[in-house]
Amino acid sequence: MNEKTLLSLAYGAAFTAGERAVAFSDLEALAPCFKSGDEWLRKNASEGKDGFGWLNLAKRNVDDIQTLSRWLATRESIVQVGIGGSALGNLMLHGALLPPYWNEIPKAKRGGPRFFMSDNVDPGDNRAIWELLNPESTAVIVVSKSGSTAETAANFLFFWEKLRDTLGEAGARERVIVVTDKDKGILRPFVDETGCKSLILPEDVGGRFSVLSCVGLLSAWALGIDCNALLSGAAAMDDCLAKTNSVLDNPAWIMAGLAYLHMKKDRNINVLMPYADPLERFCEWFAQLWGESIGKDGQGSTPVRALGAIDQHSQIQLYTSGPDDKFFTILTVAQGQKDIALPAAPEKAFEKLSYLYGKSMNELRNFEAAATASALSKAGRPVAALSIPLLDACRLGGLIQFYEYVTGLMGHLMQVNPFDQPGVEQGKDYTYGLMGRSGFDAQAQEVRTLSAKINERLVTV
């Protein structure tokens, strides 16, 4: 790989034989669909259609985000309040590009603020976060396009009251940043009423595709992540995908095509297994992106998160010897950072471990990735090997753009809208009704009726 390589995809073991065969000719036959899908994505993005704006995020002006991040970087602690796409992207960026145990590193060595995410509605978690904060030197970011998402609203009300009671309304206002729609929703009037700091969520970008907007970039920049490199990597990936018209030259077409073809052959579980701890949160982000985008109209491909080498010892038995209902992607980082060479031990008890002496941890991990891919292939399971040269901001930006494009293209192949989430909205409406929100009485009654049916048969021990 040269220094400009963003990623590499090896897919020779992604094809299968027998009654549920997937052949390279099947992939080639999808070429017209790939081309029309690319045109569909780019045309709608250029016209500002709802949901398509993520395609161009890497090339938009981000001066206002960077300016506000400079103030944010002076804080001792940052609390972000959000859920789903307003949280997973941040955790993914931080997990991949910041040192492990970030909040435990002394400030002088860490440089940036501590970071806390308030996503789930857990009173113990929220109280624990608050008790770790110095309100005077804390900033709270609340992210929600509508402002009415129950979990985000509940958590923000908690932190807003704590700040207001501790610092007064003026002091609390100075420490809050609202990221929301420019016109709609509950939080925009709150900004107007209080005069707190604010950024505008792009209207044409949905939550799970928003990580390269102010949703993800604001905290990442404040914590010292090179967001210019992140965006340049995403832009470079998009340029590469836009200029290729051959299936052989477009890894995103190949990846979307393989996932689609195997889904049609009843391999409708998509396993992403990185062999790099910093990419564990990437799998969390991918799971929402993939599951919410293409789980529509009775169709779908269920995302499964695994982490090598840990899940070699918990899931590989199922993967190699269980049902043939999965398509696998093994993700590796070719050049690990700050490697550890394994020392020779003088004790005779360790003689049988001498095969490890002189090797490195990164070397061992990459060998394990190759071993897992080979074991899956030997068992007749379809597997692709995705690799990035090193895990830096540029390559991560490229990887984000790659998977967002693959997801959008998958929606086109399936003929579903990858940018809505009707199943999620139903659950939100039921929650609103049960919590007594005005206008949702019918939903409250409906969920009570359904709950009664669920609880018809009950056993207690």
User: Which listed residue (292, 296, 404, 412) is catalytic?
Assistant: 292
Query: Does 313 qualify as catalytic in the annotation?
Result: yes
Question: Cα(438)–Cα(428) distance, rounded to whole angstroms?
Answer: 14
Gyration radius of the chain's alpha carbons: 24
List Cβ neighbours of 46 (8 Å cut-off, separation of 6 or more).
Answer: 56
Phi, psi of 377 (to 5 degrees): -65, -40
Cβ proximity of 55 and 238 under 8 Å:
yes
Question: Cα(112)–Cα(52) distance, rounded to whole angstroms?
Answer: 33
User: Which listed residue (35, 280, 428, 446) is catalytic?
Assistant: 428
Pairing, β 138-143 against β 114-118: unpaired
Query: Does 94 qualify as catalytic in the annotation?
Result: no
User: Which listed residue (313, 338, 352, 453) is catalytic?
Assistant: 313
Query: Does 264 qualify as catalytic in the annotation?
Result: no
H/E stretch holding 140 reads strand 138-143
Question: Cα(238)–Cα(64) distance, rounded to whole angstroms?
Answer: 23
Q: Which amino acid is at 57?
A: L
Instruction: Tell which residue, 301, 303, 255, 237, has the closest CA to residue 34.
Output: 255
Q: 3-state DSSP call for residue 180? A: strand
Within a 10 A sphere around the Cβ of 29, how many other Cβ atoms? 13
Q: Is 37 exposed, middle or buried (0-12, 13-18, 19+ CB in 10 A)?
A: buried
Catalytic residues: 292, 313, 428
